[in-house]
Amino acid sequence: MKNILIDKIQQKKAVIGIVGLGYVGLPLALRYLEEGFGVVGFDIDPLKISKLAKGEPYIEHIDPAPFLTAINNRTFVATTDFATIKTVDAIILCVPTPLNKNREPDLSFVTGSLQNIIPHMRPAQVVSLESTTYPGTTAEIMLPPITAAGYTVGTDAFLIYSPEREDPANPDFTTKTIPKVVGGSTPNCMEVGQALYEKIIDEVVPVSSTGAAEMVKILENTFRSVNIALVNELKIVADRMGLDIFEVIRAAATKPFGYTPFYPGPGLGGHCIPIDPFYLTWKAREYGINTRFIELAGEVNTSMPDFVIGKIVAALNNITKSVRGSRILVLGLAYKKNVDDVRESPSFVLLEKLQALGADVDYSDPHVPVTPVMRAHSITLKSVTLTPQVVSSYDCILVATDHDRFDWDMIKQNAKLVIDPRGVYQADEIKIYRA
């Protein structure tokens, strides 16, 4: 069966099923469509399926035209009906893996997807998990129910782990050009996994096991989390010393070896960096290991919104105003610049903390017209359109996300006070405060 499946993939006759049509699943679906594969997209959200059926990807940076063409050509189908799993040759899971309120892994989307998939599986299919998770998930969570359903993994079913590495709206790195790490449950699974991704990715990087592949993604994001925590902590030190941390980082980045620049901000955002390291922390406890470095980095990063709030309080005090009753405009709701992705964005934390202090708070984000429904937040606001009059009407402007579409000169000229955790402005003006 292995050779039959590999041959089907190589001839592009395989149908690719993608479960979870979000920031990872949609670009992956598009990549397979570009290479001539048929794709079936699965999601439990009927609104997403309805929009995709009309050729509306609902993610800002994804071009709707290829999906509309594929729908008209019947090479792409979006559905909530998991019975259609039997028609695909590859099943790729791109579902969320959040933390629960106790900072423990929440694999309910993975296990729920498995419950929907397994009753409709058939022999000669490959299942690939792309969701970021702790080492051991594929072997401990994915493998047993597939085996219990009567399949012999490596013979009539194939199981792999290949971590997603999407960077939304990054023009320099795309799904095609970012190397793809793949680990298989067996050598046969590994062969199928390589074939599955070699057709759409420029470079496939095989590793010895699914556990190694899972650890790769955790290492990548823990590396970023720890280094961001370092510069966040140094930002506080530099602030006390009267130094501009952004000037220091820019100068340090001129060293052509031995240094990688990371930049501080108002807190961590995105689905990866604030979450993934704690998957490893949780799993390490099973082995009697306390990951102090990761925990400390998490403490530093999650404390940054409070540092920013303290800066706002102090800056308003300098002009004899209190936070209570002040009109504060937060620039940017997305977790990073030039995207519409608000997952784990620190902007929501900042908005809630300012509201709790009695501030009259609004936000402006050209990529996020209204606050979406969030699991952990209940803010309902609409984006404010920026004009000189609007900007000047606020007591304080907080730069939470440094989108290129903001008119930074206009904002500086008309703002009464600017709190800048992103380093947009030179901190050499009375009304500009680093945070």
Distance in angstroms (rounded) separating the CA atoms of residues 269 and 275: 9
Q: What is the pTM of this model?
A: 0.92
Read off the CATH number of the domain in which 101 is found.
Answer: 3.40.50.720
The DSSP bridge pattern shows strands 15-19 and 76-79 to be: unpaired
Buried-state track 76-100, b at ≥16 Cβ within 10 A, e below 16: bbbbeebebbeebbbbbbbbbbebe
**Do 258 and 300 reside in the same domain of the chain?**
yes
* pLDDT for the residue 416: 95
Domain boundary among 208, 237, 267: 208
Residue 160 lies in a domain: yes
Can 272 be counted among the known catalytic residues?
yes
Residue 218 lies in a domain: no
Residue 213 lies in a domain: no
* pLDDT for the residue 276: 87
**Do 198 and 310 reside in the same domain of the chain?**
no
Taking the CA atoms of residue 162, residue 164, residue 170 and residue 176 in that order, the dihedral angle to the nearest 10 degrees is 30
Domain holding 126, by residue range, is 2-208
Distance in angstroms (rounded) separating the CA atoms of residues 370 and 219: 34
* pLDDT for the residue 210: 98
* pLDDT for the residue 378: 77
Query: Over its length of 435 residues, how does the chain's per-residue pLDDT go in tens digits?
Result: 899 999 999 999 999 999 999 999 999 999 999 999 999 999 999 998 988 888 877 888 888 888 888 888 899 999 999 999 999 999 999 999 998 888 889 999 999 999 999 999 999 999 999 999 999 999 999 999 999 999 999 999 999 999 999 887 788 899 999 999 999 999 999 999 999 999 999 999 999 999 999 999 999 999 999 999 999 999 999 999 999 999 999 999 999 999 999 999 999 888 788 888 999 999 999 999 999 999 999 999 999 999 999 999 999 999 999 999 999 999 999 999 999 999 889 999 999 999 999 999 999 999 999 998 777 777 889 999 999 999 999 999 999 999 999 999 999 999 999 999 999 998 767 688 888
Domain count, the chain: 2
**Do 186 and 242 reside in the same domain of the chain?**
no
Residue 222 lies in a domain: no
- What does R_g of the chain's alpha carbons equal in angstroms? 24
Residue 319 lies in a domain: yes
**Do 239 and 108 reside in the same domain of the chain?**
no
**Do 139 and 36 reside in the same domain of the chain?**
yes
The tens digit of pLDDT for each residue in 236-278 reads 999 999 999 999 999 999 999 999 999 999 998 887 888 889 9
